[in-house]
């Protein structure tokens, strides 16, 4: 079954017109259960196998491409930019309303990396948080993967640069991770390099400050009421040059941050460690990702009935 792709017109912001995009695939089986997937930074939805696995299991699948990402990026916008993480709540509201209008009564909200931070904040204080039956986090971005001194310096610079909304820094993200997953380099995935470039996009200091504020909210405790599954690799490291270990670990975020701050998310949280898992666990080598998908579906079935 092919996807339905629907643009969402949003309230214009400080850059002008704003849209988001819902990509959906309905299950062929009668069901009231749905998944809403939110991607990470320098990312968009291209994980067809994730959608297939859930629709095969009886869930309708919806992927939300946030404003200024992927199919939602407009010519006048700065890619992946925001000044407050809660800007994304508007499109999540509309996506959940669409999912409810389609007849779904149980919702699995799923977020990868920065999407994991955004969905966690939404499940805590979003307008339709009570409609979220369960929250599934794939390597959530709960802290910057740098040392304490670098974090402090970034905060100082970001605060100083606040009057200059598009001041930025390039090269924060190593291209090695993107190279490890794209088929033109070391990986097996063919994604659009205009939307997910190997070298990444600039990191704007206002964006860094917005993310830092989201991290602080997590550290103060979110009190999410629904069940949470937090999945992460068994290890992480920061590579300097290419090695095959890059495809067997999280080379973007620190899993110790996920373990530490994940406990602040809610009342009922399950941690699941994935040996040889990559940052996006669903892009790991075939045997690893099959185990990841099995765990995701089994847990969703268990907590959602």
CATH number for 38: 3.40.50.1820
Q: Are strands 168-169 and 203-204 parallel, antiparallel or unpaired?
A: antiparallel
Kindly report whether the global pTM for this prediction surpasses the value 0.85: yes
Q: Supply the DSSP string of 40-90, one letter for each residue.
A: -TT-----HHHHHHHHHTT-EEEEEE-TTSGGG--TTSPTT--S-GGGGHH
Is the CB of residue 21 less than 8 Å from the CB of residue 66? no
The span from the CA of 141 to the CA of 148, in Å, is 16
- pLDDT score at 153: 65
- pLDDT score at 80: 98
Average pLDDT estimate for 261-289: 98
* Identity of the highest mean pLDDT range in 148-157, 163-172, 245-254: 245-254
The span from the CA of 209 to the CA of 168, in Å, is 12
Q: How many domains does the chain have?
A: 1
Percent of the chain with pLDDT over 90: 89
Is residue 161's pLDDT more than 80? Answer: no
Domain with 115, as residue range(s), is 4-304
Q: Residue 136 belongs to what H/E stretch?
A: strand 134-138
């Amino acid at each position: 079954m092919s996807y339905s792709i629907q643009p969402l017109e949003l309230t214009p912001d400080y850059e002008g017109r704003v849209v988001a995009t819902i990509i959906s695939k309905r299950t062929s089986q009668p069901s009231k259960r749905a998944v809403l997937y939110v991607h990470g930074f320098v990312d968009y939805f291209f994980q067809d196998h994730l959608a297939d696995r859930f629709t095969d299991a009886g869930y309708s699948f919806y992927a939300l491409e946030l404003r200024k990402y992927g199919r939602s990026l407009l010519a006048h916008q700065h890619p992946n930019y925001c000044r407050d993480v809660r800007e994304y709540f508007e499109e999540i509201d509309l996506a959940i309303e669409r999912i409810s209008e389609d007849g779904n009564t149980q919702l699995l909200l799923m977020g990868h990396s920065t999407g994991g931070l955004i969905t966690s904040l939404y499940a805590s204080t979003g307008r339709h948080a009570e409609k979220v039956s369960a929250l599934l986090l794939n390597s959530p971005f709960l802290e910057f993967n740098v040392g304490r001194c670098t974090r402090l310096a970034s905060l100082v610079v970001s605060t100083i640069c606040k009057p200059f909304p598009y001041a930025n820094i390039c090269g924060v993200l190593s291209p090695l991770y993107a190279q490890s997953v794209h088929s033109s380099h070391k990986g097996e995935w063919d994604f659009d390099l205009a939307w997910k470039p190997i070298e990444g996009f600039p990191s704007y200091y206002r964006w860094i400050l917005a993310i830092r504020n989201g991290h602080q909210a997590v550290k103060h405790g979110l009190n999410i009421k629904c069940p949470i599954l937090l999945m992460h690799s068994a290890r992480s490291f920061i590579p300097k040059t290419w090695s095959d270990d890059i495809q067997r670990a999280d080379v973007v975020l620190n899993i110790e941050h996920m373990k530490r701050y994940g406990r602040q998310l809610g009342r009922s949280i399950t941690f699941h460690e994935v040996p040889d898992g990559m940052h996006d666990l669903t892009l790991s080598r075939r045997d690893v990702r099959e185990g990841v998908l099995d765990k995701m579906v089994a847990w969703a079935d268990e907590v959602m009935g």
